[in-house]
Amino acid sequence: MDKSKNLYGHLFALTANVMWGLMSPIGKSALQEFSPISVTTFRMVGAAAAFWILSMFCKQEHVNHQDMLKIFFASLFALVFNQGVFIFGLSMTSPIDASIVTTTLPIVTMVVAAIYLKEPITNKKVLGIFVGAMGALILIMSSQAGSNGNGSLIGDLLCLVAQISFSIYLTVFKGLSQRYSAVTINKVVYQVTAIKANAFKGNKKLKKVKIPASVKTIGDNAFMNCTSLTSVVIPAKVTKIGKKAFYNCKKLKSITIKTTKLTTKKVGSKAFTKAGSSSYKKLKVKVPAKKLSAYKKLLKKKGLSPKVKVRK
């Protein structure tokens, strides 16, 4: 049974690494159309939605409050310092260089595991790392020989930081994966609580946005100049909307606000200025019934045109 689990573990790890290997060329292609912030946000929001939907069909697990704090820090190393930093690094270097840098993960993980988990460094491990390192070295040398200046030292270093971060996640937070299922850990780790400033600024391809229910903050300029955006749903947990968050989203026809927690101080200046400006009369804003009067005043103060109809 243990050997079978070990085999499955290695097969899953191999599959994950094959998919991760495809990340660099596919990610580089996506970065031709979107900013690093947008790509990172798409990945995290998409993964969060996928794992939460998957969790509905799996056995529900209770996560202890003490472990929630550990999962929070795990998410920093697994997502923010790993995936986020890697995407920024990839945007500055070539996909070949980024892929080569990812080969350092086993080396770094072995070192971190030896220091933190006191795992022995066996001869087989050393031999495997040596062979891998030689292969990476050959790739680096051939890449530099045929390079057209597409690589970047800063980009490569950011990709290396991402690998170090993920190796820390694999070793320091190993206990979490033994206590909870992969679905439970990932649905919590990927839970999004904020949309960063400038996240989708100037994105001409966004048409409809239903912000995840877990989001509490929409950053400054988050959807500014998204000139193709036609509808947006702001969930019930949102407590803050940054300045110019929906500035010049001129094709907006529908804004649904479910939260009742917005105040003048919590909504930035010009947050809704020029929203629906292509045709103000076509824009419909739906708000909670008990906040109808207050939100009419609030939205107009934050730039919404008086021509726009606000209803419950």
* Number of domains comprising the chain: 2
What is the reported pTM? 0.55
- The C-alpha R_g of the chain, in whole angstroms, comes to 23
Structural domain ending residue among the three candidates 128, 156, 189: 189
Does residue 237 share a domain with residue 157? no
Does residue 28 share a domain with residue 177? yes
Does residue 90 share a domain with residue 58? yes
Q: Tens digit of pLDDT for each residue in 66-123? A: 676 677 788 778 877 888 888 888 888 888 788 778 877 877 888 888 888 777 777 7
Does residue 163 share a domain with residue 54? yes
Does residue 98 share a domain with residue 16? yes
Q: Tens digit of pLDDT for each residue in 244-287? A: 999 999 999 999 999 999 999 999 999 999 999 988 889 999 99
Does residue 222 share a domain with residue 156? no
Does residue 72 share a domain with residue 138? yes
Tell me the CB-side half-sphere exposure of residue 26, using CA atoms within 13 A: 8
Q: Tens digit of pLDDT for each residue in 133-173? A: 676 666 656 655 555 555 577 888 888 899 888 888 888 88
Q: Domain range for residue 167?
A: 2-189
